[in-house]
Structure 1
């Protein structure tokens, strides 16, 4: 691969690298649409994931920010339910489309690195077959947006470095701004890429006026989110602390295990080939910042106790890069068979791990797949929970039912009752967790509380009396298994004084 000599500036901004080949848009589009179709076909299986129950309610309380997230996902929840109905399928349409888009972008990234048609299709297929892409495309979550944002930023930066079209900083700034509306984690990628450019170069792209304009555009897009954070005490820092752990051997091991897990074991050699190729290939010298960014981000996350999944967008980009040397490697039929089998097997295993392709009972405690049950079984049992609460509610005298509300210790409990409770005649649901606390407090005449999942001693001190009314049980393993449903009467303080005491920030 040869690089044409260019000078940074608008007058030479559109100069193209001679080795770039046409984009194989038809087969790449076929792969992208196939993934989207699979995700949509499976969207209605099992049930809502616990966070989706929260985002759905947040969509009815739109604002410029929330304690634990920026506003975009709540807006997407509202838009999807308004357009397609208040159903499980409806709330998962956009994630599926975004996953398909990330596959399209991954193929473009391979092309920017000199990949021909085979490398482009391989990059699309490999990206579609990773656990990271499938998981991002299955449920409505900030990661659904964050995933495509990270892959897109990597592509745009490589294109900028190849063409030296400094106007691409504007596009990069816009994508960063949109990313900040969904998840603050994109700041980590920006910092890593800047560090990569400072360490590995080319540093001159950081001295361009379009970089300042792009940064300004990104800040302008994200300005309402940042403005919201300031008067609310910057709650994102509290959430970041809750989402990290002190540096430990166990945490480091979990992080390292997460790196091959997010792509899949059978594609790990491909993303490692992308990483090493970016560090060692002479023709990729200008793109070395991408590899340095990954190494910097990995070290930072190890030090602060971050989750291994936080690198998943960058790992997908490295996988796309690795498809360029991988496509050159498959010069014989046996090698083609090996690589094709690796992509297919990886995709099948990723689907089993994160998509509802099997009966939910396949992830029960006595199953060999039980280790993958957290994500899968987190989508089950919420209607069961609501029905058990409804059974307690129906057993109350009419006068008490008229004064009752449901309180969930976490937002999934409250969100489940909000979604499935009206059909069962249940009263409104409330929670003190994160921004669910801000969605409203009970009226003062609501003096009977069905409290789900609370600590009896801590919660009971706020009421004249609290007694156990039920214990939650589920057909499949569930994080709510064995938790109590308390029946509490007569708050010892008015709700306007009691409600601030029930607020808590964190995860569950």
Structure 2
């Protein structure tokens, strides 16, 4: 017997072919981001879409004109568990965003990154605009973001291990993504094209791929059936959101790519994209990004739709970045870049500053759309309440409120009861399906449209007030109308008021 006995190598690298996962450090970053988002969740007010999702959560369906059913369901779950508050409706987005940061570290590990690369990936992802924006408000992007990075992580793992059973997991995640946002279809198209163009194509020749497709279709079946039964309204909504192709579109799209992660971290995700292209095993992900860019420019899609693949490239860039960070000056430079990016991203997407900082005269006025979308809805309700209280008491029992778009109606629904306001309705998108006024409602207080739109349907329509706000608002200057005596029963009038689109 030999005097020396070989000791088996039980390290993570030997057993799995990739470095050990430093989950404690990564979890710490994930928890810190989640805690920060929750600490800021109650500032400002509801975002315009959240006002809609809050009401949609009380009117659950298998589909809506402008979205799948998962986000309204999340709204319902959160308000049931935590109460009907601004904080409550933002708990799940913060948790999902923390999860996405955890997955970004898993991507770095899967690509061969050790502990430093994993932690750097989680920190860099936390500091990006895409991540912060996804985690602050309840929106389909909160789900879509974590779905995209998870699908890419699973595909990278499949490409490394050639374990085609992972197609089943990919199909399941895509199916869940379809319940939140149909945009995940673009990711599937991009990844499939990437594999066809750059390979390895053999992973497509697997029965598990068909199984994954079946799993995804089964999970997404309710929304697909609903869309088919209702004439595929998503195509109409997509047409509303898309623009025309042109040089300005391409330039704006390119600028959007620099902004979505953040200017200071752009070198890191560009490095990751180049790094992926230089590795045949993972080149398909780089090709997928380029395919998606070309497709979105062609159809006039938003630049932000690439944010999932940009986050993957960011995580990939952390793998070679660790070797570059050998010297102290470079580590200081990276630290400064991450901090600066985090500050810029926070200012643009989460309420770290007083809301007044985004006023029209402020230097930040041009970057505060997301912030200003959370302001003024209580003020709108107060002004409508003033008009309501000015009506003769005999009219108030027969009054209904009409918000021309879903945000206006959602604001009146949320803040109106405290002022004694009656129920609010809207003919916009699926808010239309939530109900219409009772037949005895012969007086309507309407916001968001002009008298010319409603006058043909009522015996009288008059302007009672004009909306005014302290900060820039979509409804600035719009009239508050008082319309009397509908020209026909509400059951016949309501379909004539319906409209589908964006505002």
CA distance in 1 between counterparts of 2:18 and 2:206 reads 25
**Where does residue 323 of structure 1 map in the other structure?**
318
The separation in 2 between residues aligned to 1:366 and 1:263, in whole angstroms, is 27
Superposition pairs for residues 339-358 of structure 1, below 5 Å? 339-358=334-353
Structure 2 residue corresponding to 1:484, chosen from 461, 474, 479: 479
| Native 8 Å contact 1:193 1:290 kept in 2 | yes
Matched, 1:314 2:301: no
Deviation at 1:237, TM superposition (A): 0.3
Structure 1: distance between partners of 2:189 and 2:299: 15
* Superposed counterparts of 1:48-197, under 5 Å: 48-197=46-195
Aligned residue in 1 for 2:209: 211
Matched residue count? 492
1:10 alignment counterpart: none
What is the CA–CA distance in structure 1 between the aligned matches of 2:190 and 2:14, rounded to whole Å? Answer: 26
SS at match of 1:488: strand
Rate the CA distance shift 1:390–1:85 in 2: closer, same or farther, 3 A: same
| Cα separation, 2, equivalents of 1:147 and 1:318 | 14
Name 1:247's counterpart in structure 2: 245
- Equivalent residues in 2 for 1:281-300, closer than 5 Å: 284-300=279-295
Q: Aligned to 1:30, which of 28, 31, 56?
A: 28
User: How much does 1:255 deviate?
Assistant: 1.3
SS across alignment from 2:368: helix
In structure 1, stretches of 5+ residues that fail to align are 1-14
1:18 deviates by 6.1
Q: Structure 2 matches for 1:327-338, cutoff 5 A?
A: 327-338=322-333
Distance (Å, rounded) in 1 between the aligned partners of 2:263 and 2:17: 32
Q: Select 1:454's aligned residue among 445, 449, 453.
A: 449
Listed as ranges, the gaps of 5+ residues in structure 2 are 1-12
Instruction: Measure, in 2, the Cα distance between the counterparts of 1:58 and 1:187.
Output: 24
CA distance in structure 2 between the aligned counterparts of 1:33 and 1:126, rounded to whole angstroms: 14
Task: Name the residue aligned to 1:503.
Answer: 498
Which of 375, 398, 406 aligns to 2:401? It is 406
RMSD: 1.2
1:463 paired with 2:458, answer yes
Q: Distance in 2 between matches of 1:348 and 1:485?
A: 39
Would you say the 8 A contact 1:274–1:322 is kept in 2?
A: yes
| 1:380 equivalenced with 2:378 (yes/no) | no
> 1 CA distance for matches of 2:249 and 2:76?
36
Q: CA deviation at 1:248?
A: 2.2
Find the aligned partners of 1:321 and 1:197 in 2 and give their Cα distance.
Answer: 18
Structure 1 Cα separation of the partners of residues 456 and 268 of structure 2: 57
Q: Distance in 2 between matches of 1:428 and 1:303?
A: 43
Listed one character per residue, the Cα deviations across residues 375-431 of structure 1 (whole Å, up to 9, x for unaligned) are 101101000000100010011111110110010111000000000001111011011
Q: 1:17, CA displacement in angstroms? A: 8.2
- Partner residue of 1:270 out of 268, 271, 288: 268
TM-score of the superposition, structure 1-length normalised? 0.96
Q: CA deviation at 1:456?
A: 1.6
Query: After superposition, what is the alpha-carbon deviation per residue over 1:231-253, rounded to whole angstroms, capped at 9, x for unaligned?
Result: 11100000000110011222222
Structure 2 counterpart SS, 1:435: helix
Task: Give the alignment partner of residue 235 of structure 1, picking from 215, 233, 236.
Answer: 233
1:455: how far off? Answer: 2.3
SS in structure 2 of the partner of residue 54 of structure 1? helix
Q: Contact between 1:20 and 1:112, CA under 8 Å: does it hold in 2?
A: yes
Aligned counterpart in structure 2 of residue 260 of structure 1, from 258, 261, 265: 258
Question: After TM superposition, where is structure 1 displaced by more than 4 Å over at least 4 residues in a row?
Answer: 15-19
In structure 2, what is the Cα distance between the partners aligned to 1:37 and 1:141? 19
The partner residue of 2:356 within 354, 357, 361 is 361
Distance (Å, rounded) in 1 between the aligned partners of 2:301 and 2:189? 16
* Aligned-pair CA distance for 1:59: 0.1
